[in-house]
């Protein structure tokens, strides 16, 4: 069934073909926005995709005990503009989180084996 909706950002109208005709106007507009080529809609889709990738990385690569701390590091960089956040763990891992010159969020993890002796 063909339904008409508008982009939430630019207001452009579009007719979309959907199998379910029982959608609300807001749901139709969300589907139109997902297909719109305006810069704002593209930017929002890119943000959502990036957030999903970050969540996957934290879920699969970070120790569950350190996950809240790493989430706070990511938020400090993405939301509050921190340049770099470095996390040191008791088991010798050092993770540096920063945005590179191309605008990508980078997780730089290193395992350090240092030995310190006090006498």
The pTM (predicted TM-score) of the whole model is 0.70
The alpha carbon of 58 is separated from its chain's Cα centroid by a whole number of angstroms, namely 11
Residue 57: pLDDT band (50, 70, 90) is very high
pLDDT(17) > 90: no
The rounded distance, in Å, linking the Cα atoms of 85 and 83 is 7
Q: Which residue, 36, 33, 2, 37, is CA-closest to 18?
A: 2
The rounded distance, in Å, linking the Cα atoms of 96 and 118 is 28
Residue 84: pLDDT band (50, 70, 90) is very high
List the structure tokens of 95. Answer: 């993770």
Q: What is the DSSP letter of 78?
A: H
pLDDT(23) > 80: yes
């Amino acid at each position: 069934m063909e339904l008409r909706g508008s982009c939430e950002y630019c207001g452009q109208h579009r007719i979309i073909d959907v199998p379910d005709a029982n959608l609300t106007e807001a749901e139709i507009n969300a589907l139109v926005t997902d297909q719109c080529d305006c810069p704002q809609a593209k930017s929002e889709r890119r943000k959502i995709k990036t957030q999903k990738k970050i969540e996957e990385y934290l879920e699969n690569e970070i120790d569950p005990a350190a996950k809240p701390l790493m989430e706070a590091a990511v938020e400090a960089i993405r939301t509050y503009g921190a340049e770099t956040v470095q996390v040191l763990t008791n088991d010798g891992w050092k993770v540096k989180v920063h945005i590179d010159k191309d605008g990508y969020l980078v997780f730089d993890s290193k395992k350090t084996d240092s030995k310190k002796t006090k006498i």
